[in-house]
Amino acid sequence: MADTQIERLSSIGVKVTIGTHQLLGAISCGDFGGAPNMIDASCLLDTMDQQVPGRKQQGSWDVQYLYNDKDGNGDFGAMQTLAASKAVTTVQVEMPNGAKFSNSGIVSNYANGVEDSSTLKATVSVAIQGGDWTYTAPTNG
């Protein structure tokens, strides 16, 4: 059996960019795609259900980030501006190895509730408009 190398990546260094703004306080983000619903394709001769994949379920794509808005120029202010525009905006996530996932959608933004002894957080939610996520493989430059 050949010696296979597995690239083990940490989330350290993941870059989330919405529009032209890199979210410096990003702490988590949603999946890059979704599972399809299953359509029943059974007929009277089948003894077991037969299913085919239907539409993918994507919904919104969320990024939770640390609330920061010094002088209206932080992540929160930038996301509020994008949300107010109601325009379709690009989204890109770059992994530490250089691989990229990209899509586009309409931005909503909100501050999360407050908890005792915790950091303040906010969430930007993107209503995906671009279909499937585009994957760009890393280059070994």
Mean pLDDT to the nearest integer, 34-50: 91
Say which range, 18-27, 97-106, 132-141, has the weakest mean pLDDT.
132-141
- 65 contact partners, CB below 8 Å, separation of at least 6: 16, 23, 25, 26, 27, 75, 121, 122, 123, 124
Predicted confidence at residue 36, as pLDDT, reads: 84
The 3-class secondary structure across the chain, one letter per residue, is CCCCCCCCCCCCCCEEEECCEECCCEEEECCCCCCEEEEECCCCCCCCCCEEEEEECCCEEEEEEECCCHHHCCHHHHHHHHHHHCCEEEEEEECCCCCEEEEEEEEEEEECCCCCCCCCEEEEEEEECCCCCEEECCCCC
Q: pLDDT tens-digit profile of 8-22?
A: 889 999 999 999 999
pLDDT exceeds cutoff 60 at 113: yes
| Residues 87, 70 contacting (CB under 8 angstroms) | no
Q: pLDDT tens-digit profile of 49-78?
A: 999 988 877 778 999 999 998 777 799 999
Instruction: Name the average pLDDT for the chain.
Output: 91
